[in-house]
Structure 1
Amino acid sequence: MKSAQEDEYLAFVAARAKALYRSAYVLAAGDAHLAEDLVQETLSRVYVHWKRVVRADNPAAYAQTVLVRTFLSLRRRRSSTERPTGTLPDNAATGPDTALRLTLLDALGQLPPRDRAVLLLRYWEDRSIEETAQMLRMTSSAVRSQSTRALGRARALLGDSLSDLIPH
């Protein structure tokens, strides 16, 4: 890569790495190591195709699409049979919504990968149905039905426990 292109890429990474990590963390159901691997793989793929990425209308959306597709591809491989343990790190996050976040991440972690990806893009990333469909290579109607089913599965997993965690 030329120096100007390298500078553009480095500026892009500095601006988007944290947002990519947050999305990857949700996709990985709270597995920080898998999230880091996903971001690293995404950024390396974006680097390889950087000339095409900068010509795209929205490089951030391009990287987000690569992230989601990388996650789904990884989950389809047989070698991805590792599962996170039920133990939490020694230094748990603190804040008013910690219990709520952990409960939601746990429920998302129990959903199938495609359901998790649809919920992440539609509700965490606030993407439109059309954007989500394009990113996941699905039809708009498939995204709508998948979203409905995924939300139903998440609600079934959460049961009444979520209402106890939401401040009134």
Structure 2
Amino acid sequence: MEASNHDEFREFVAMRSTALLRLAVLLTGGDRHAAEDLLQIALMKAYGRWARIEQPEAYVRQIMYRQQVNRWRLRRHRAETTVPVLPESAHEGADSDSELRIALWAALRRLTKRQRAVVVLRYFEDLPEAEVAALLRCPIGTVRSTAHRSLAKLRDLVPELGPQRPRGQAQPLSYSPKEMQG
């Protein structure tokens, strides 16, 4: 690799590694060590093709998505360790945002791997359904149904995320019908 490309790569890593690590942590379900490994593998693969990459961040993210999906496929039959009660992880008197984040992390860990991937890609990464389907190599209908079920499960696990309405019940109006006429 030429010296200028090497410097560009180092600058990219210095500027974007925190955001990329955050994505890796989400993809691995909160496992910081696995996230660091995932990011390292993605950066190694990107380094070898750096001179030909037009959109480096998008390229590294796609490597991370695909690498994590491959890990899930390889570990499909490995049992997860579960505990009846989560250890205490928040300080007493912590603000409600911190408590909500902790509850959300715990709920994300309880989703299946596919559900977690769809939620992370769709709502944390804000990718369109078609792109999520392409990355996970599944039909767009699977992404939609998985996202729907995942959000319902998250709302059941963390009621603070939003109201859970019975099926078929419409979203409450935020305006009155008279306002619509005038």
Range class of TM-score, shorter chain: 0.7 to 0.9
Indicate the residue corresponding to 2:71 in structure 1.
Answer: 74
Name the larger-Rg structure. Answer: 2
Task: Tell me the distance in 2 between the aligned counterparts of 1:153 and 1:49.
Answer: 40
Structure 1: state its 5+ residue gaps: 164-168
Task: Tell me the distance in 2 between the aligned counterparts of 1:103 and 1:25.
Answer: 16
* TM-score (structure 2 length as normaliser): 0.72
Task: Tell me the distance in 2 between the aligned counterparts of 1:47 and 1:80.
Answer: 32
Task: Tell me the distance in 2 between the aligned counterparts of 1:44 and 1:87.
Answer: 35
Higher RCO, 1 or 2 (CA under 8 Å, sep at least 6)? 1
Greater fraction helix:
1
Task: Tell me the distance in 2 between the aligned counterparts of 1:84 and 1:24.
Answer: 22
Indicate the residue corresponding to 1:20 in structure 2.
Answer: 20
Structure 2: state its 5+ residue gaps: 163-182
Task: Report if aligned partners of 1:28, 1:109 keep a CA contact under 8 Å in 2.
Answer: no
* TM-score (structure 1 length as normaliser): 0.78
Q: Tell me how large the CA RMSD over aligned residues is.
A: 2.9
Task: Tell me the distance in 1 between the aligned counterparts of 2:113 and 2:74.
Answer: 12
**Identity over the aligned pairs, expressed in percent?**
38
Task: Report if aligned partners of 1:20, 1:64 keep a CA contact under 8 Å in 2.
Answer: yes
Which residue, out of 59, 62, 80, partners 2:56? 59
Q: CA deviation at 1:82?
A: 6.5
Between the two proteins, the alignment pairs up a number of residues equal to 159
Q: CA deviation at 1:153?
A: 2.5
Go from structure 1 to structure 2 and tell me whether the alpha carbon gap of 1:66 and 1:141 turns closer, same or farther (over 3 Å shift). Answer: same
